Amino acid sequence: MAQFTRVSGSVGLISLKNPPVNALSAVVRQGIVDTVQRALSDPKVKSVVICGQNGIFCGGADIKEFGTAMSGPPLVPMIHAIEAAEKPVVAAIEGLALGGGLELALGCHYRIAHSKARLGLPEVSLGLLPAAGGTQRLPRLIGVPAALDLITTGRHVTAAEALKLGIVDQVTDHNTVDAAVKFALSVREHSLNARRISNNLCPPPSDLDALFEGAMQKVRQTARGAVAPVACVQAVRAAATMPYTQGMEREKELMATLFTSGQARALQYCFFAQRAVGRWSMPSGARWDTSKPRPIHKAAVIGLGTMGRGITVALAQTGLSVVAVETQEKQLMEAKQAVSGMLKRGAKRRGVAPVLDLVSYNCNLQAVADADLVIEAVFEDMDLKKKVFQQLSAVCKPGTLLCTNTSALDIDHLASQTPNPELVVGMHFFAPAHVMKLLEVVYGSRSSPQVVATAMQLGKKMGKVSVAVGNCRGFVGNRMLKPYMEHAFFLLEDGATPELVDQALEEFGFAMGVFRMSDLSGLDVGWRVRKEDGLAHPGMALGQAARVRQGRRYSPLADLLCEQDRFGQKTGMGWYQYDKPGGRVSRPDPWLHSFLEEYRARHGLVARRIDHQEVLERCLYTMINEGFRILEDGIAAGPEDIDMIYVFGYGWPRHRGGPMFYAGMVGLERVLERLEHYHQAHPDVPYLQPCNLLRRLVASGSPPIHRWREVIKKVRSQL
């Protein structure tokens, strides 16, 4: 709602109230319409200030209302009435003015912001555009290039930048409402014509066509198939080329196509899913709201390879004091130099002082004795990790949390090396650890809820999207990656090329196709795991049984490449060729194509035409099928957990919502039918066999994703 009071004799103060972010719900919009009317009709009121309660101006339209039948007064005429008012209206912006909130402020005649406020039009990240006049008023106010940047990226700006751009008229360090009231008193007699942004023309850019062509090219390159950024450019173009009323019509038209699109649904699902994963639960019933995290004052990192260095940086940037341990003096010194460089560069980017003093370096494990939490990040080798855990148990003070950065190893087995397995938890970071947003927090069968709560909270402090998952081989992310990659290899056997498979996946929206990703992360990583699992060892790839292992179809293609030292970018050749070892630009490799032909000939395989549809179905549906198995097993609490892992850790296109959301969009029946079809064709591939939960969901009428938990619960209770 909105409250009205008269202050300082002649200022009507309208205060928005809808915690936590004063979103513009139907009730708030009605409140604004009513209070503005009251202020304008009250002869004692000479000017008006609009502010938000609890230190926040407004977080924009109420996203929860999207997808429901809209009621209450619409935003566009409401903002227009404010702009048309004959009394000056001043927006007092504290905290946030985002989306419809900023559009409301742009309808006011003046804007005063607190120095700590952030402003922006982030609609594009919800699959929308600023459709309450934002695309038409902002370019008129700050010019086309700056408006294009803000609207197509959705980035927030500080009050200082907003002042520089001309979005706000004044910035204050003091009480914003007081400053706005004082300002409102001083402008009560001023003429408002020039202050009505819609009356003004866009400042004309020098070469309009070139500017928009460039902008369109840029968004098409970065959008990976998302349509909202393209519509944003089109709407801003209307502002630059049409009178305001026509521009508003264009904005409305473009919004209408976006509003009901699958992409908008997916992106809004992601918005809520990202927040939902913070409300974690464990099969034991332990939950985020009943488990209190422990205070952490000092952390330690063991092993300063690529991962350990990134983790040290991420920890230090939260303000924690960190002991970084590497047993070899030379490696320790190299790591110190690398970590200091990363901290300096990070600080420069964020405009703050580097926190070099927070990190101390040591060769001796004894140095971690007084740490509250230790993250072990040594080489991915169970025997080595076991040894480190045994040593840590002897060195650390009682109650220290012992965390392992592993991408697949058994947390319970590691925990059994310590006298206090309840203090052990997995923290699976993604490289580079100080950049990548995802953190899988892996609880073992004996991890205490308090320890999980602490790791989750630490992840949040590091700016990560932390997802709590259960312990199994590969946890959630890498467990689902296995069938995805395996199918990519089978597709090569059946006639595809790495380029074809990657193109299909990249057109779908993945940041990188599976083969390009494999070249980047190194083929040797998976080879080592397969060797440990007894699947690959030299010579085995040549024999009669090369394409069958452990009773199922197996493709030794990746092993054969590794046997020739083709490890990907690091060796200058893998699924593609590169200019040199460490080169980044991939080129199709004729050697690989003849190798594939020879391989098929040797195994009596006849290459057939594979189309993009088959690539997507076989790679993605098997991954999704494994996702359903993960839900059935209770390794992930809900589909949102899986989806956020894939969006934030594996380059899944956000505008497709994550693999489980995507399955719902495709239709669960269709996914089931295609899996059955492929399983019939390839009965020796168990991953293709549709899992019980998928069948049950289809049998329950394919409910929407937010109702899957009811079916999951039933299936789990019957296990």
| Residues at the site binding ligand 3H9, with contacts judged by CB under 6 A | 20-21, 23, 59-64, 75, 96, 98-100, 103, 122-123, 126, 128, 130-132, 134, 275
Question: Could you tell me the smallest distance in angstroms from the CB atom of residue 82 to ligand 3H9?
Answer: 15
Closest alpha carbon to 307 in 378, 359, 410, 372: 378
Are 600 and 607 in contact by the 8 Å Cβ rule? The answer is yes
Q: What is the DSSP string of 550-565?
A: TTEE---HHHHHHHTT
- 123 part of the active site: yes
**CA 18 distance to own-chain centroid:** 27
| DSSP per position, 276-326 | HTTS-B-TTS-BTTT-PPPP--EEEEE--SHHHHHHHHHHHTTT-EEEEE-
CA–CA distance, 118 with 351 (Å, rounded to integer): 16
- Catalytic: 669? no
152/702 with CB nearer ligand 3H9: 152
Which tokens sit at 646?
Answer: 């894939």
Alpha carbons 283 and 719: distance in angstroms, whole number: 13
Stated as kind and residue range, the H or E segment containing 106 is helix 100-107
Q: Where are the beta strands (DSSP E) in 156-291?
A: 157-158, 170-172
Residue 298's alpha-carbon distances to 305, 338, 411, 436, in angstroms, are 21, 21, 23, 23
- Residue 432: asked if its preceding bond is cis (omega within 30°), the reply is yes
3-state secondary structure at position 56: coil
The strand pairing partners of 425, in sequence order, are 403, 443
Contact 113, 159 (CB under 8 A): yes
Bridge partner list, 75: none
Cβ atoms of residues 177 and 233 within 8 Å: no
Beta bridge mates, 120: 98
Q: What is the CA radius of gyration of the chain?
A: 29
Residue 81, C-beta contacts closer than 8 angstroms, at least 6 positions apart: 33, 36
Cα–Cα distances in angstroms (integers) from residue 673 to residues 610, 670, 694, in the given order: 19, 5, 11
Contacts of 253 (CB under 8 A, 6+ apart): none
CB 501 within 8 A of CB 491: yes
Q: How many residues does the chain have?
A: 719
Single-letter code of the amino acid located at 179: A
Report how far residue 152's alpha carbon sits from residue 215's, in angstroms, rounded to the nearest whole number.
Answer: 9
φ, ψ of residue 690 in degrees (nearest 5): -60, 135
Name every residue whose Cβ is closer than 8 Å to that of residue 77 and which is 6 or more positions away in sequence.
Answer: none
Please state the closest distance from residue 130 (CB atom) to ligand 3H9, in A.
4
Phi and psi, residue 154, nearest 5°: 75, 10
Q: Which residue is nearest to ligand 3H9 (CB)?
A: 99
Span between the terminal Cα atoms of the chain, in Å: 48
d(CA 446, CA 468): 14
User: Do 145 and 132 touch, CB atoms closer than 8 A?
Assistant: no
Query: Taking the mean position of all CA atoms in its chain, how far away is CA 16?
Result: 30
- What are the two backbone dihedrals, phi and then psi, of residue 210, each rounded to the nearest 5 degrees? -65, -40
**Cα→Cα distances 247→131, 201, 202, 269, 426, Å:** 11, 12, 12, 29, 53
**Do residues 577 and 591 touch, judged by C-beta distance below 8 A?**
yes
Residues 155, 160, 164: CA angle, nearest 5 degrees? 90
Amino acid identity of 225?
A: G
Distance CA 141, CA 544 (A): 72
Catalytic residue among 83, 94, 123, 506: 123
Q: How far is the CB of 22 from ligand 3H9 (least distance, A)?
A: 9
Q: Please state, in angstroms and rounded to a whole number, the distance separating the CA atoms of residues 630 and 691.
A: 10
Of the residues 94, 103, 440, 617, only one is catalytic, namely 103
Which residues are tagged catalytic? 103, 123
